[in-house]
Structure 1
């Protein structure tokens, strides 16, 4: 598996993964039915941020991560990130590889930490991955996410100090 910066030519392979995850209604509050250009506008980060893709040996796009400052100005010393892995690639280490790349990037860029603002508490695979990489839950906003399966569930705020 290779992790590399996203290119415009990756949009046609990434947009279906984005829609699959958003339409499932379990992890992201993005609206459904977005066109490819709207997916690009939401997911492709401009500098000082970065968006990457994970591709397998035959070039199949498996997932993506976007990262950058959590807030502008006086909040820019903390980074943040978002991840999407296609259902066909789950359980194969793609999320972990993207996460390790993201943490290394934040370190190289001199961030003091990484803050996740909204990790859905019922997304136990992601919560477990983040905790395994050293993130801790700072708090949970009760009922802040409308899960298609579970109804209103909490959103964790998580932090990894670098």
Structure 2
């Protein structure tokens, strides 16, 4: 599956992927009512490199890669991933995750850390665990899930 840097011209295709995830409010600690402009500004923030996964010319997923922290923490990568609903269960997230690990290594990062994995997001927790991430912290009730109420957030880490 081709995965490549995103182009600003693809903003509407990326918005079509990220807005439903944000609106659902089940996996990202973002305001579900944020505007499309605000969502794209978040996703394409100046500290991020954005990629897209495509098949037959259709964008099926997107992720960003950035330093987890500035200064003394800038050797650890961080990333965020979203997949189009029609592509779920087809390996798009796994392909993007593997690609992001390779990109992180290529950019000199020595580890990757996810600061806020919503514990009820079983698919993400399963994928990260399968790819060698360890849960190094748990924050009880850190996320207000719209259906489940307070859910713990996991901090997951993996050396590169």
> TM-score, length-normalised on structure 1?
0.94
- Counterpart Cα distance in 2 of 1:39 and 1:55: 21
Give the match for residue 6 of structure 1. Answer: 6
- Tell me the CA shift for residue 10 of structure 1: 1.0
Give the match for residue 76 of structure 2. Answer: 78
Task: Decide whether the 8 Å contact of 1:12 with 1:36 is kept in 2.
Answer: no
Question: Please, which moves more after superposition, 29-38 or 94-103?
Answer: 29-38
- Counterpart Cα distance in 2 of 1:10 and 1:34: 19
- Counterpart Cα distance in 2 of 1:36 and 1:5: 20
How large is the RMSD of aligned CA atoms in angstroms? 1.2
- Counterpart Cα distance in 2 of 1:34 and 1:115: 25
Task: Decide whether the 8 Å contact of 2:25 with 2:31 is kept in 1.
Answer: no
> TM-score, length-normalised on structure 2?
0.95
Task: Decide whether the 8 Å contact of 1:11 with 1:36 is kept in 2.
Answer: no
- Tell me the CA shift for residue 32 of structure 1: 2.3
- Counterpart Cα distance in 1 of 2:45 and 2:107: 15
Can you list the C-alpha shifts for 1:27-86, whole angstroms capped at 9, x where unaligned? 011112333322221001436x411011111x1111100011000111101110000011
Q: Which segments of 5 or more consecutive residues in structure 1 lack a partner in the other structure?
A: none
Task: Say whether 1:104 aligns with 2:123.
Answer: no
Task: Decide whether the 8 Å contact of 2:142 with 2:151 is kept in 1.
Answer: yes
Question: Which secondary structure does the structure 2 equivalent of 1:33 belong to?
Answer: coil
Q: Which segments of 5 or more consecutive residues in structure 2 lack a partner in the other structure?
A: none
Write out the 4+ residue segments of structure 1 that deviate beyond 2 Å after TM superposition.
32-37
